[in-house]
């Protein structure tokens, strides 16, 4: 297990707190197996399933159980790639549907009201840098589906507005290119050219979004901004709203995975039922036998 944790920390670049959580999950699994004189390396599907059932029976919340299963999937995938085992005992294990809770998302009309509210202040003839900044932030949260930590970590050099995109550094310091729509680009251009110069009072500050004191904004500040626009919203909800609305409008899960920066498609699969709903609608509209009814027999044939 130590070698696996070292791999996560060094090769995958996971944060210390994340590695500690994985270490705790693996230690709990090993402790469970000890009762049956088993070891994680030799455990089969029955032992893994029994461990998950054991957690549920002892009142562990579904999200926590799902996280432990995700940890075990990663562990056994590593063992398999390292040729320490011949079979992954988690490969055919499915999380109960109760674990796959769809993240809360706002309706498109609710997001539009938030954007309109922030946009109205930004379009005022006397709009200051703060109004332009706030408008750019909410547009970017929804347009790019970025995490709040990714947004606050953005630098001016990470923007490529002429190409309508930005460079985002996500979990594990993984980089990805995120496209931006026309409205978000326009809001960012207004902030960068007319808003940020008045806030950039600290020499050498490279971060994109600045406070009135010239320092980079904190995650807590961005949360408060979004809450002021809609009490039910948050940066996390904006991110899920972006993904939900894309899937509802026909985006495939792989595209959404790439946009959100999910390392594993399993994380994106919480939106599966939305994709299936879209698939069914397209099938009904275009498949020749989806709505076809057998023709009635012609008169006088008696159906023979």
Q: Crossing angle for the helix pair 62-81 and 2-10, nearest 10 degrees?
A: 90
Q: Residue 98 above 50 pLDDT? A: no
Does 290 map to a domain? no
Helical segments of the chain, H only: 2-10, 16-34, 45-57, 62-81, 108-122, 129-144, 148-152, 182-190, 196-199, 219-229, 235-248, 253-260, 265-268, 272-286
Q: What is the pTM of this model?
A: 0.61
**CA dihedral sign, ordered 219, 243, 156, 232:** negative
- Tell whether the model's pLDDT for residue 301 goes beyond 70: no
Residue with the bigger pLDDT between 263 and 138: it is 138
User: Mean pLDDT, the chain, as a whole number?
Assistant: 86
68 noted as active-site residue: no
Residue 64: domain span? 2-81
50 found inside a domain: yes
157-211 confidence digits (pLDDT tens): 999 999 999 999 988 788 999 999 999 999 999 999 999 999 999 998 999 999 9
pLDDT confidence band for 294 (50 / 70 / 90): very low
Q: Is 117 exposed, middle or buried (0-12, 13-18, 19+ CB in 10 A)?
A: middle
| CATH code assigned at 204 | 1.10.443.10
Same domain for 119 and 63, yes or no, is no
Active site residue 100: no
Known catalytic membership, residue 239: yes
Contact 237, 139 (CB under 8 A): no
Q: Is 87 labeled as catalytic in the residue annotation?
A: no
169/160 Cα distance (integer angstroms): 15
Options 135, 147, 196, 207, the catalytic residue: 147
Asked if the model's pLDDT at residue 131 lies above 50, the reply is yes
Q: Quick one: what percent of the chain has pLDDT higher than 90?
A: 56
Average pLDDT, stretch 250-273? Answer: 84
Average of pLDDT values for 31-37?
87
List all residues 6 or more positions away from 136 whose beta carbon is below 8 Å from its beta carbon.
122, 184, 187, 188, 190, 191, 195, 209
Mean per-residue pLDDT, 258-265: 87
pLDDT at 303: 45
User: Both 61 and 129 in a single domain?
Assistant: no
Q: Is 147 labeled as catalytic in the residue annotation?
A: yes
Distance in angstroms (rounded) separating the CA atoms of residues 106 and 126:
31
The mean pLDDT value for 64-82 works out to: 90
pLDDT score at 197: 96
The band of 292, judged by pLDDT with boundaries at 50, 70 and 90, is: low
Mean pLDDT across 44-51: 91
Mean pLDDT of 271-293: 72
pLDDT at 295: 44
Handedness of CA 117, 131, 187, 226 (dihedral sign): negative
Residue among 54, 171, 219, 278 flagged as catalytic: 171
Is pLDDT at 274 greater than 70 in this prediction? Answer: no
Instruction: Check whether residue 177 and residue 243 sit in a common domain.
Output: yes
The answer on 190 and 118 residing in a single domain is yes
Residues in contact with 254: Cβ distance below 8 Å, sequence separation at least 6, in sequence order: 265, 268
Domain count for the chain, please give it. 2
Model confidence at 250, in pLDDT bands (50, 70, 90)? confident
Q: 80: burial class by Cβ within 10 Å (0-12, 13-18, 19+)?
A: middle
Residue 184 in any domain: the answer is yes
The CB density around residue 139, as the number of other CB atoms within 10 Å, is 24
């Amino acid at each position: 297990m130590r070698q696996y944790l070292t791999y996560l920390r060094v090769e995958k670049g996971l944060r210390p707190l994340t590695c500690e959580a994985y270490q705790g999950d693996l230690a709990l699994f090993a402790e469970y197996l000890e009762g049956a004189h088993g070891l994680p390396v030799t455990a089969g599907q029955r032992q893994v399933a029994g461990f998950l059932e054991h957690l549920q029976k002892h009142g562990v919340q579904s999200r926590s159980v799902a996280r432990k299963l995700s940890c075990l999937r990663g562990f056994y995938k590593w063992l398999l790639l390292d040729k320490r085992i011949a079979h992954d005992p988690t490969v055919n294990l499915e999380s109960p549907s109760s674990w796959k809770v769809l993240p809360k998302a706002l309706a498109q009309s609710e997001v539009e009201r938030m954007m309109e509210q922030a946009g109205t202040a930004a379009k005022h003839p006397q709009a200051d840098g703060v109004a332009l900044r706030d408008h750019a932030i909410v547009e970017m949260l929804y347009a790019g589906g970025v995490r709040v930590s990714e947004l606050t970590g953005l630098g001016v050099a990470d923007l490529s507005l002429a190409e309508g995109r930005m460079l985002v550094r996500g979990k594990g310091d993984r980089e990805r290119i995120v496209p931006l729509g026309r409205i978000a680009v326009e809001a960012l251009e207004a902030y960068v050219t007319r808003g940020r110069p008045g806030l950039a009072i600290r020499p050498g500050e490279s971060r994109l979004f600045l406070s009135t004191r010239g320092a980079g904004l904190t995650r807590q500040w961005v949360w408060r901004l979004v809450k002021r626009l809609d009490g039910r919203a948050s940066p996390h909800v904006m991110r899920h709203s972006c993904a939900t609305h894309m899937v509802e409008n026909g985006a495939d899960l792989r595209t959404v995975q790439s946009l959100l920066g999910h390392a594993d498609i399993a994380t994106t699969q919480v939106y599966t039922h939305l994709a299936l709903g879209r698939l069914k609608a397209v099938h009904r509209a275009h498949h020749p036998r989806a709505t076809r009814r057998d023709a009635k027999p012609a008169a006088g044939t008696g159906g023979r």
